[in-house]
Structure 1
């Protein structure tokens, strides 16, 4: 399943707006709620590389 990578997942957002540096091969994973690091007051989504993968890969959003 080499195609089941972050950049083809329904929960991937193709820009790293919350990363310290803008990375061309990174984006945000929005499969879970954001987490608030102790040193910051606002939540952030994990920054992932386009070629990363996890067990929650989805091509479509779950029905509401």
Structure 2
């Protein structure tokens, strides 16, 4: 198995990255939204930078 590094597994290259925010900031859609302490507010998706990475990386479709 090949070693995955931050350069090859960056959020910007992942199928779960939603870049509607900007080119450098987006939302991670791997997990469900994070609930908030107040029941009045909706859950939010985690904000990530395009250069971030994690162990859930899956390449985006070309």
Query: Could you tell me the TM-score, scaled by structure 1's length?
Result: 0.72
- Higher Cα radius of gyration: 2
Tell me which residue corresponds to 2:58.
58
Structure 2 gaps, min length 5: none
Aligned length: 55
Tell me which residue corresponds to 1:9.
14
Report runs of 4+ in structure 1 exceeding 4 Å deviation.
none
Structure 1 gaps, min length 5: 17-22
Tell me which residue corresponds to 1:35.
34
Q: Structure 2 CA distance, aligned partners of 1:24 and 1:5? A: 13
Q: Structure 1 CA distance, aligned partners of 2:56 and 2:27? A: 14
Shift of 1:24: 4.4
- Alpha-carbon RMSD across the aligned residues, in angstroms, is 2.0
